[in-house]
Amino acid sequence: MLSTISLIGMPGSGKSTVGVMLAKLAGLRFVDTDLDIQVREQNTLQNILEQRGYQFLREVEQDILMRVVLEGAVVATGGSAVYSELAMRRLRDSGPVVYLEAELALLERRVAASPPRGIASDPSTTYAQVYEERTPLYHRAADIVVSTSSEGAEEVARGILRQLSND
């Protein structure tokens, strides 16, 4: 039985939504590092970005990922986790890393429909530019890639478990 499953992907890819469902189905705890960051900093991701900048947010995210108890958990990472080789190595050493992939247009719609969320990137870059920059990093870091474009969270979570049990 798997003890740790880490989810990576762009903001809007469904890491938190799929992660909760996956944790329930797999009988694991759910860890959302974005929430852990907000609790630690006592601020929203958006405010942290505006007040301290994206590099600070990435540093806090790496620190959280290096300290959080991974054992027995589905871990929904922040979208910029892939910039930290140290954190990604720790996640890979703990269990499979799953890239939740979705088409750019769908991700843009999802992000636009939700409250402002802190995206840890240079403020002058567009969401599409961040997507182009991060996509190869996600592919390189992932053990498996799962599309979240057409199925609901429960179907995606069941698909992840099927793929992981076949490996």
pLDDT tens, residue by residue, 46-65? 899 889 988 999 999 999 99
> Would you state the pLDDT for residue 114?
66
Please give the helix or strand (H or E) that residue 144 lies within, else none: strand 144-147
Query: Token pair for residue 23?
Result: 């944790």
* Residue owning tokens 């974005």: 34
- Whether residue 98 is predicted with pLDDT greater than 80 in this model: the reply is yes
At residue 162, the 3 state secondary structure works out as: helix
pTM, two decimal places: 0.93
| Overall average pLDDT of the 140-164 stretch | 92
The CATH H-level (homologous superfamily) assignment of domain 4-166 is: P-loop containing nucleotide triphosphate hydrolases (3.40.50.300)
DSSP-derived letter for residue 81 is G
> Would you state the pLDDT for residue 115?
60
